[in-house]
């Protein structure tokens, strides 16, 4: 009898242990945020494997994939061309946006507007990023109705829209960022489709008809650079005169700009301050800049009304 009780006791302990282990694994799986990035080289700025490194270093988990392409616009990343091919680079096994978003489950999707007005009518046909985002939201809703979608509110280029990165000249970042969106093709003349006003108007419009359960939010990358520009101009950032010093050409960033972008993505998506994230992952060693950047990013992300953290 005693032997039988001992066996039953051991079996009961085994069942309890296996149940606890299964629950623990389920909890770990649930904590792994599944993120799908859509955009071009401005989204690639975060360098996905480096981004994974800083996420895990902070004690968080991530499963990521992306669909991006050099100079890609949103319409080019979900609409096939005249040969039936969708532009861009994707990761296996997920594939490009139409497949990845309808065949796999995601917790977060980031969309990067680029080179399109909100809406424009040519020969009776409407186009623009309101339509593009709305169409992608419909694709997302097929399998991921509860996903959190963010617009990547990126920084502006430093050259006229119809020219190239080689023609870039220093500009007043803060003045540009705060200018009103001029609308339609006019916004191509003044680059006002890369301003705070543009991204916020886009967010407001797409949320009117979004089929998702959560409102679309904004990753305020451009807003962070605005604050950096203000602080640098005030002489508060050693070695940085203004936001121009972050650029390596007309639109792309160097290591410190990439770091700022990555920790902005991290803090917005994970809803945590980026305290302690090392700049070494992004190629520089400057503890003073790191500390200031972390404090400034959290100040922006935690108070910006469209990032999803401010109450």
Instruction: State how far the Cα of 97 lies from the Cα of 140, in Å rounded to an integer.
Output: 9
Q: How many CB atoms lie within 10 A of CB 40?
A: 25
Instruction: State how far the Cα of 248 lies from the Cα of 266, in Å rounded to an integer.
Output: 23
69, 72, 96, 198, 202 from 78: Cα distances, Å: 12, 11, 8, 22, 18
Instruction: State how far the Cα of 125 lies from the Cα of 190, in Å rounded to an integer.
Output: 23
Instruction: State residue 121's pLDDT score.
Output: 87
User: Cα angle at 41 between 35 and 44, to 5 degrees?
Assistant: 35
Instruction: State how far the Cα of 230 lies from the Cα of 222, in Å rounded to an integer.
Output: 12
Q: How many CB atoms lie within 10 A of CB 184?
A: 14
Instruction: State residue 169's pLDDT score.
Output: 86
pTM above 0.85, yes or no: yes
Q: Are 152 and 112 in contact (CB under 8 A)?
A: yes
According to CATH, what is the number of the domain 32-252?
A: 3.40.50
Instruction: State residue 30's pLDDT score.
Output: 43
**Residues of 203-233 as b/e, b for ≥16 C-beta within 10 angstroms?**
bebbbeebebeeebbbbbbbbbbbbbbbbbb
Instruction: Give every CB contact of residue 14 below 8 A, 6+ residues apart in sequence.
Output: none
Quote the tokens at residue 145: 């109705």
Task: Delimit the domains of the chain by residue range.
Answer: 32-252
Instruction: State residue 106's pLDDT score.
Output: 98
56, 119, 183 from 128: Cα distances, Å: 37, 4, 11
Instruction: State residue 162's pLDDT score.
Output: 65
Instruction: State how far the Cα of 282 lies from the Cα of 26, in Å rounded to an integer.
Output: 32
pLDDT in 10s for each residue of the chain, 311 residues: 444 444 344 334 443 343 443 333 334 444 799 999 999 999 999 999 999 999 999 999 999 999 999 999 999 999 999 999 999 999 999 999 999 999 999 999 999 999 999 999 888 888 999 999 999 999 999 999 999 999 999 999 997 766 666 778 889 999 999 999 999 988 988 999 999 999 999 999 999 999 999 999 999 999 999 999 999 999 999 999 999 999 999 999 999 999 999 999 999 999 999 999 999 999 999 999 999 999 999 999 999 999 999 98
Instruction: State how far the Cα of 95 lies from the Cα of 6, in Å rounded to an integer.
Output: 54
Instruction: State residue 11's pLDDT score.
Output: 39
Count, residues in the chain: 311
């Amino acid at each position: 009898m005693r032997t039988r009780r001992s066996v039953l006791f051991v079996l009961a302990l085994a069942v309890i242990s296996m149940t606890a282990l299964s629950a623990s694994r389920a909890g770990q799986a649930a904590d792994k945020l599944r993120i799908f990035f859509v955009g071009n080289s401005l989204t690639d700025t975060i360098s996905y494997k480096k981004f994974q490194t800083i996420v895990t270093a902070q004690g968080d988990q991530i499963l990521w994939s992306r669909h991006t392409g050099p100079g890609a616009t949103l319409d080019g990343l979900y609409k096939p061309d005249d040969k039936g091919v969708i532009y861009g680079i994707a990761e296996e096994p997920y594939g490009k946006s139409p497949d990845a978003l309808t065949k796999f489950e995601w917790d977060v999707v980031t969309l990067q507007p680029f080179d399109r007005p909100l809406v424009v009518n040519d020969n009776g046909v409407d186009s623009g990023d309101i339509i593009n985002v709305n169409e992608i939201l419909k694709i997302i809703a097929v399998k991921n109705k509860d996903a959190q979608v963010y617009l990547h509110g990126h920084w502006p280029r430093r050259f006229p829209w119809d020219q190239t990165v080689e023609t870039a000249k220093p500009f007043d970042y803060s003045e540009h960022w705060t200018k009103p969106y001029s609308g339609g093709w006019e916004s191509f003349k003044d680059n006002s489709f890369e301003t705070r006003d543009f991204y916020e108007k886009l967010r407001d419009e797409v949320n009117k008809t979004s089929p998702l359960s959560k409102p679309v939010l904004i990753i305020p990358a451009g807003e962070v650079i605005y604050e950096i520009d203000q602080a640098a101009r005030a002489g508060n950032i050693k070695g940085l005169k203004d936001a121009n010093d972050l650029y390596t050409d007309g639109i792309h960033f160097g290591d410190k700009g990439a770091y700022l972008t990555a920790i902005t993505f991290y803090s917005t998506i994970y809803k945590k301050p980026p305290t302690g994230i090392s700049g070494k992952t992004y190629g520089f060693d400057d503890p003073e800049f790191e500390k200031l950047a972390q404090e400034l990013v959290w100040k922006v992300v935690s108070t910006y009304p469209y990032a999803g953290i401010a109450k």
